[in-house]
Amino acid sequence: MCENGVNTGQMKMAVAMVDDSLALAQQWLEQLHRLADQGRRSLTSTELAQVTVMLGEAREKLETAVEQLGVVENDDVTVERL
């Protein structure tokens, strides 16, 4: 549905696609983190673990953004059907 000039359905679908991509990258990084840890590469392992956490935080932000799609921030906006 289009609310305030934004097609919220398409926006949600696009955000979901980005979230899926980040989830996949997060899984790969977790595997690399474990491999680096097993290979006794602690500095690399630590950095990869931190990136994994950051991706988790980014995914949480995406979830919050989707939840806020229905919130109208600017009451001055009007939609006119042609």
Residue 21 lies in a domain: no
Q: Which domain holds residue 47?
A: 27-69
> In the numeric block, which tokens belong to residue 10?
């398409």
Q: Each residue of 14-72: pLDDT tens digit?
A: 999 999 999 999 999 999 999 999 999 999 999 999 999 999 999 999 999 998 887 66
pLDDT band, residue 79 (cuts 50/70/90)? low
Residue 8 lies in a domain: no
- How many domains does the chain divide into? 1
- 3-state secondary structure string, the chain? CEECCEEHHHHHHHHHHHHHHHHHHHHHHHHHHHHHHHCCCHHHHHHHHHHHHHHHHHHHHHHHHHHHHHCCCCCCCCCCCC
pTM of the model: 0.74
pLDDT of residue 63: 94
